[in-house]
């Protein structure tokens, strides 16, 4: 999510150093990574790039332009011609070995890739709930009138952006090797209802049973293997001397 945290903050040196180690190891092992906003800055920093202030702060919707590599990329190609939600004041240089995938008008480096590690400066994860929270929490940082402008833009642009984000995340999961789990269905024994029985009328209780013509004729005359179920005791109580149920 957007925050006031910057990679260059001295108070977070230990956390940044720990993130650097984890991200460098992930890239070295060619593990799938997706860094969003601060995550993209951390990924670039871990790979040796400079992270600092962008000339302007970006809030709201901005046009994304894919590079030739971005249009050919299996993940970023999902955002061709899209406007994306921005919420940041910092930016990153392209790290050594990184491939620039997308640019913007007021912030050049919008997306890059190193192996299977992706960093995006914008926020594909935004939805109405997230956007409402940002506008509330960060309202003091927004210029006058920006909150109303962003809400008006979101009415038409957010549904389109969310559909594109779903394609983006699905494509990234495919690159990561994820496959949906197939639910295993176990075949159980086939239960055949005895023709001796019929369901009780709706007006009768759940335990009121009604049998057909084989009642009292013995197991040999019954169509159910093992004997006629009419010989069982009714849950509603009762039963004759031979265990015949009490019929209502």
Residue 247's pLDDT is: 44
* 228 included as an active-site residue: no
| Annotated active-site residue in 37, 107, 222, 228 | 37
User: Which tens digit of pLDDT belongs to each residue from 16-31?
Assistant: 999 999 999 999 999 9
- Edge-first strand listing for the sheet containing 99-103: 33-36, 117-120, 111-114, 99-103, 65-66
* 37 included as an active-site residue: yes
Residue 146: other Cβ atoms inside 10 A: 15
* 50 included as an active-site residue: no
Q: Mean pLDDT, 10 residues at a time, over the chain (248 residues)?
A: 54 85 97 97 96 95 97 97 96 97 97 98 97 94 93 95 96 89 64 58 49 50 52 45 46
| Annotated active-site residue in 88, 123, 214, 222 | 123
Residue 29's pLDDT is: 97
| Residues 119, 102: Cα–Cα separation, whole Å | 10
Question: pTM (2 decimals)?
Answer: 0.70
């Amino acid at each position: 999510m957007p925050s006031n945290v910057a990679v260059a903050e001295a108070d977070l040196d230990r956390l940044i150093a720990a993130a650097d180690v984890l991200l460098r190891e992930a890239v070295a092992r060619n593990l799938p990574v997706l860094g969003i906003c601060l995550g993209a800055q951390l990924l670039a920093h871990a790979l040796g790039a400079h992270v600092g202030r962008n000339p302007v702060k970006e809030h709201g919707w901005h046009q994304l332009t894919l590079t030739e590599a971005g249009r050919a990329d299996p993940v970023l190609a999902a955002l061709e011609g899209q406007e994306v939600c921005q919420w940041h004041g910092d930016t990153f240089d392209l790290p050594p070995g990184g491939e620039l995938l997308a640019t913007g008008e007021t912030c050049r480096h919008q997306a890059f890739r190193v192996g299977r590690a992706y960093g995006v400066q914008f926020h594909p994860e935004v939805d109405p709930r997230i956007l409402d929270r940002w506008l509330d929490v960060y309202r003091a940082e927004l210029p006058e009138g920006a909150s109303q402008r962003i809400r008006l833009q979101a009415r038409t642009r957010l549904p389109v952006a969310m559909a594109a984000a779903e394609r983006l995340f699905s494509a990234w999961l495919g690159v990561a090797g994820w496959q949906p789990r197939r639910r295993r269905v176990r075949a159980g024994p086939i239960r055949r209802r005895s023709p001796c029985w019929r369901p009780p009328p709706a007006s009768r209780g759940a335990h009121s049973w009604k049998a057909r013509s084989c009642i009292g004729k013995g197991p040999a005359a019954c169509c159910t293997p093992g004997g006629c179920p009419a010989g069982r005791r009714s849950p509603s109580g009762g039963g004759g001397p031979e265990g015949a149920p009490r019929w209502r």
